[in-house]
Amino acid sequence: MYNFSRKVNSEHSEDIKALMQHSTGKNLISFAGGMPNNDLFPVAEIDEIYTNLPREIKKIGFQYGPTSGYPPLRINLKKYLKKKGLPVRNNRILITTGSLQAISIITQEFVNEGDIILTENPSFVGALSVFETYRANVIGIPIDENGIIIEELKNTINRFSRKPKFLYLTPNFHNPAGIIYSLERKRQILEVLDGTGIILLEDDAYSDLYFLEKDKALTKPIKTITDYDVEIIYTGSFSKILGPGFRLGWMFASPTIFEKGENIKQALDACTSNFNQILANEFLAQNKLDDYLIFLRKEYLERKNLLQTALLKYMPKVVTWNEPKGGFYFWLKLPEILNSTEIFKKCIAKEVVFVTGRTFDPASKKDNRIRLAFSNMPKNQINKGVKIIAEVIVYFLEEHNSKTPNLKHINT
């Protein structure tokens, strides 16, 4: 057999491969992939941008570029981040090949085998696979509808004599939980981290995708709050707002962290595709993003409403969820006696898929949750898909009730 390194053993990486396979099968009703809608991409705009590019710029697209990124994109991105209130004066932007690469770079910068990383439980499975690959000791901390639970965060930090390297959070339209952190919770996290030397890694892939203007204020990044002694590394991405095929993300950090990150990126892939950076830069520079986002918000809101209506119509009362204010996801909570992997197996036989709860548990255990992504759903399949999942859940509940007639009856 081959003598592989220890890096190849990531259970979460295997989960992602399975997830991507289930996301796109023919005839499947798929609530699985956390991906933008195939029919909403700005294909015509990008066609026009490329056609009208001067020949000299097109040539740059074919060439290697600076590791830190295509300079005009770094300038326009700075303006975009400034509009979010981020402190652009004291920080630098490193363009990365997707924000997953930024997470990977940051992990390589700080984490040695066995080091502690704190995450939410549940947490973005892509990040979990990175942390696992670098053999970190990943500790999941529970969340409620307003974000990570502060008491649990404090207790976890106090439990270890070794200082965690960083706390990884997705405060805006969490994947998979769909929640947005309250502004109070964002501040409380900084109060806990203040002066501890624990870095905050703030992953902000979804903040532009709020549904209603009144909720925009909630999307304020934690990194905009500068009155605490906490190092915050902020990451973002074009994946959910322009298309993951661009593979464009960024890391926004203080100069020393930026410089070390640039070195690591140099060794990884030298630079991110200039072609993609040029196209994304023009999209920003020609002010196309704002109008496109207005269009996307409306489309995703419609799908969210259809899913909410279908859930209310078909799900048994014992299944609960928070209605999301933005992003792509519903995170259903099932009674503890149910197991989403079992439900998944029955649903896939009926050509409906979703992602199981345990996929997002750092320990790959807790399994009484279901993630439904509405983003890439054809509107006319949402109702049918939810009806099938609900029927399977009711089947398992009835089976449980018939096996345990003397125990507490679960009301379907």
Ligand X SMILES: Cc1ncc(COP(=O)(O)O)c(C=O)c1O
Binding footprint of ligand X on the chain (CB under 6 A)? 34, 98-100, 124, 126, 170, 175, 203, 205, 237, 239, 244, 249
Measured in degrees and rounded to the nearest 5, phi and psi for residue 123 equal -145, 160
- Angle, alpha carbons 205-209-212 (nearest 5°): 150
Would you say 142 or 244 has its CB closer to ligand X? Answer: 244
Dist CA 32 CA 19 (whole Å): 7
Task: Select the residue whose beta carbon is closest to ligand X and give its number.
Answer: 98
- The number of angstroms, rounded, from the C-alpha of 356 to the middle of its chain's C-alpha atoms is 16
Q: Helix, strand or coil for residue 232?
A: strand
Q: For CA atoms 308, 411, 142, 227, give the dihedral sign.
A: positive
Task: Give burial (CB, 10 Å; 0-12/13-18/19+) of 151.
Answer: exposed
Would you say 239 or 276 has its CB closer to ligand X? Answer: 239
Contact 12, 128 (CB under 8 A): yes
Q: Which amino acid is at 334?
A: L
Contact 171, 202 (CB under 8 A): yes
Would you say 23 or 239 has its CB closer to ligand X? Answer: 239
Would you say 86 or 397 has its CB closer to ligand X? Answer: 86
Rounded least distance, CB 159 to ligand X, Å: 26
Residue 79 CB coordination number (10 Å): 11
Rounded least distance, CB 248 to ligand X, Å: 7
Dist CA 69 CA 105 (whole Å): 15
Cβ-count burial 15-50 (b if 16+ within 10 Å, e if not)? bbeebeebbeeeebbbbbbbbbbeeeebeebbeebe
Q: Helix, strand or coil for residue 249?
A: strand
Rounded least distance, CB 260 to ligand X, Å: 20
Rounded least distance, CB 215 to ligand X, Å: 18
For 49, 248, 273, the CA distances from 119, given in Å and listed in that order, are 40, 24, 30
Contact 207, 218 (CB under 8 A): no
